[in-house]
């Protein structure tokens, strides 16, 4: 079943075209890599699919919902409840501890303090960093911070996780460990993942790959590799 869909999505920043009519389908439960060289429009596509940006033209659907027709307020609510986002770095609030950071999305969604804290610590534990619950980001390594960020992105148990170069700032060994963990948890949770990366080694963690080039899905079929479905469900 298709959970996310872009149909002829066009997006420019002023005179700079970023997407020139992108059409893709993301199946529920799949881990899809969006690849391509820097500047080809990967992040812009992720932002459009996540309802953060509104396309200039074309359609973006989440299930039955046409996100491109929704107001920012409705999209923001959807993002809080159904989506998780993970960026390269800088998403943790430096003044808060790990547990407070991870609890934040739950508090915003109206969960009580105590319950939110319990869930947050549970997620930190699942990512192997429970001992950092009362530590602030400034005292953590990059890998530890990203594990907290993963916990924060998943604490609301979103149906879709949007990850934009999530290991871009990590060394290769730390990156591998984080990706391994992320993929394992996503599969357990049946979370759909959109994994944006310019790195084929990162893309290899996904079930399938869509390559962008100059704001369009690469017409040569480059990267449109058959799904050797490990997500056979």
Partner 1 sequence: MSTAHVLLGLLAGGPLHGYELKRAHDQRLPQAKPVAFGQVYATLGRLQRDGLVVTAGQAQEGGPERTAFQVTDAGRQRLDEWLAEIEPPAPFVSSTLFAKVAVAVLVDGAQRARDYLVAQRAAHMGRLRELTAIKTDPASPLGDVLAADFAILHLDADLQWVSNTLERVADLHREVQP
Residues within the interface to ligand ADP (CB under 6 A): 13, 16, 18, 36, 38-44
- Beta carbons within 10 angstroms of residue 217's beta carbon: 23
DSSP 76-90: HHHHHHHEEEE-SS-
> Least separation, in Å, of the C-beta of 82 and Mg ion?
22
- One symbol per residue from 183 to 202: x for binding partner 1 (CB under 8 A), - otherwise; what is it? xx---------------xx-
> Residue 178 CB, nearest distance to Mg ion (Å)?
18
Closer residue to Mg ion in complex, CB, 68/164:
164
Q: According to CB under 8 A, which one of 78, 140, 169, 222 is a site residue for partner 1? A: 222
What tokens does 23 get? 């059409």
Instruction: Pick the stretch among 12-20, 118-126, 130-138, 221-229 that binds partner 1 (CB under 8 A).
Output: 221-229
CB 175 within 8 A of CB 202: yes
Smallest separation (angstroms) from Mg ion to the CB of 19: 12
- Write out the two tokens for 73: 């307020």
Within 13 Å, how many C-alpha atoms sit on residue 32's CB side? Answer: 25
Nearer to partner 1, 65 or 198 (CB): 198
Q: Are strands 192-196 and 31-35 parallel, antiparallel or unpaired?
A: parallel
Quote the Cα angle for 78-227-213, to 5°.
Answer: 70
Among 8, 63, 90, 180, interactor with partner 1 by CB under 8 A:
180
User: How big is the chain by its Cα radius of gyration, in Å?
Assistant: 17
Residues lying near partner 1 in the complex (CB under 8 A): 176, 179-180, 183-184, 200-201, 203-207, 209, 220-226, 228, 230
């Amino acid at each position: 079943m298709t959970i996310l869909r872009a149909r002829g999505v066009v997006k420019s920043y002023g005179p700079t075209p970023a997407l020139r009519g992108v059409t893709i389908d993301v199946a529920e439960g799949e881990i899809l890599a969006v690849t391509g060289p820097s500047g080809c429009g990967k992040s812009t596509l992720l932002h459009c699919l996540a309802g953060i940006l509104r396309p200039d033209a074309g359609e973006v659907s989440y299930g039955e919902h046409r996100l491109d027709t929704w107001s920012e307020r409705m999209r923001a609510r959807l993002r809080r409840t159904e989506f998780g986002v993970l960026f390269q770095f800088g998403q943790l609030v430096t003044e808060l501890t790990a547990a407070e950071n991870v609890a934040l999305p739950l508090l915003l969604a109206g969960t009580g303090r105590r319950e939110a804290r319990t869930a947050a610590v549970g997620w930190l534990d699942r990512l192997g960093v429970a001992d950092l619950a009362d530590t602030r980001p400034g005292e953590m390594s990059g890998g530890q911070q990203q594990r907290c960020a993963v916990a924060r992105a998943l604490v609301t148990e979103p149906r879709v996780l949007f990850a934009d170069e999530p290991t871009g700032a990590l060394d290769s060994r730390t990156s591998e460990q984080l990706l391994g963990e992320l993929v394992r948890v996503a599969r357990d949770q049946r979370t759909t993942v959109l994994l944006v990366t310019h790195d084929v080694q990162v893309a290899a963690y996904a079930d399938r790959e869509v390559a962008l080039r100059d704001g369009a899905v690469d017409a040569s079929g480059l990267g449109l590799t058959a799904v050797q479905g490990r997500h056979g469900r």
